[in-house]
A = this chain, B = another copy of it.
Amino acid sequence: MSVLKNDLILRTLRGEKTERIPVWMMRQAGRYLPQYMELRNKYSFFERCQTPDLACQITLQPVDIIGVDAAILFSDILVVPQAMGLEVQLIESKGPILPHPIHSANDLTRIRVPNVHETLGYVFDAIKLIKKELNGRVPLIGFAGAPWTLLCYMVQGKGSKTFDEAKSFCFQQPALAHQLLQMITDTTIAYLKEQVVAGADTVQIFDSWGGLLSKADFETISLPYIQQIVAAIKPYAPVIVFAKGAWYSLNEMAQTGAAALGIDWCTPPEMARKFAGNTVVLQGNFDPAKLLSPIPIIQTEVKAMLQAFGGQHHIANLGHGILPNVPVSHAKAFVDTVKEWQPNV
């Protein structure tokens, strides 16, 4: 394994002060890139995801084109439910469909905690290839969905604004819900460990629907499982936890031992720091829709965001995934502005 030429993000995750703020973007390997759209038009989602060479090409695109300080594995959080035995359909522009969702104890017998080598080996193969092709240019981020967010899809069977079926499943059948959450957690721990073994330098847990829960419910249904995952992975690689919208539990999330916490754009940086305490690294939080602004506005607002985070213990990122209609030059303006910025002391 070659030595990393750019390890800014890893040093930041270790709590070190760095010469500048590292930057990457959620969904940086995605639909705003014409080079990605070419491959998307040729290959189905699962072809792109399960063919290490395609996953590798896509993962590297934003490193080459945009100049981010980290690559993030091209994959999807729903490969885990699929590996557990649930059918997952990912039809472009339609969102995911799980035609046989989990509603009962009987449904739980249809899924299992799988052997991740047998079911997700293609991910580890992709990681090995990506690391080889990156050749030490930047670190590689692995990832998985948080158990609550995966439960949302496994119970609701599709995307939703409220995921009320998933929530009522947890409220009406809590024992069953916790059994399912534990199965997802056990699978995720094995999955992320092997991502690290294959070469991932850090991993991010995406709790995209954490913020649909009240604080009390988040800390019952979601956080304990995130905590288990952080505890299991932390000895091997630093863990970034991003629970979108769950600002109210930043303090509790910081106590999981996560190296960094993702912050969405609706949580002001100063408030995020106050809630999360002074130790943990914060990652975020530019409004993805603001990348549709004219470039001079992007530059001004990115600098304001960097200043608000205080110029250290910060990884610059968006507050959620980049939108498909963002011009590449705007994404690049975001990254370049971070790279050129120095704090006003």
A residues whose Cβ falls under 8 Å from a Cβ of B = 161-162, 164, 167-168, 171-172, 211-217, 245-248, 265-268, 271, 287-290, 292-294, 297, 323, 325
The closest CB in chain B to the CB of A323 belongs to: B164
Instruction: Give the docked Cα–Cα distance between A213 and B265 (Å).
Output: 8
The 3 closest A-B pairs by CB, nearest first: A168-B292, A167-B289, A171-B293
Could you tell me if B172 and A294 are in contact, using CB atoms closer than 8 angstroms?
yes
Chain B hits for A288, CB < 8 A: 162, 164
Which of B171, B246, B266, B293 interacts with A245 by CB under 8 Å?
A: B266
- The smallest C-beta distance from A283 to any residue of chain B, in angstroms, reads 16
Whether A172 touches B292, Cβ cut-off 8 Å, given contacts A245-B266, A248-B268, is yes
- The smallest C-beta distance from A330 to any residue of chain B, in angstroms, reads 11
Could you tell me if B211 and A266 are in contact, using CB atoms closer than 8 angstroms?
yes
Chain B hits for A292, CB < 8 A: 164, 167-168, 171-172
Chain B hits for A161, CB < 8 A: 161
Instruction: Give the docked Cα–Cα distance between A171 and B294 (Å).
Output: 8
Q: List 24 A-B contacts (CB under 8 A).
A: A161-B161, A164-B325, A167-B289, A167-B290, A168-B289, A168-B293, A171-B289, A171-B290, A171-B292, A171-B293, A172-B293, A172-B294, A214-B265, A214-B266, A214-B268, A215-B268, A216-B268, A217-B287, A245-B266, A246-B266, A247-B247, A248-B266, A248-B267, A248-B268
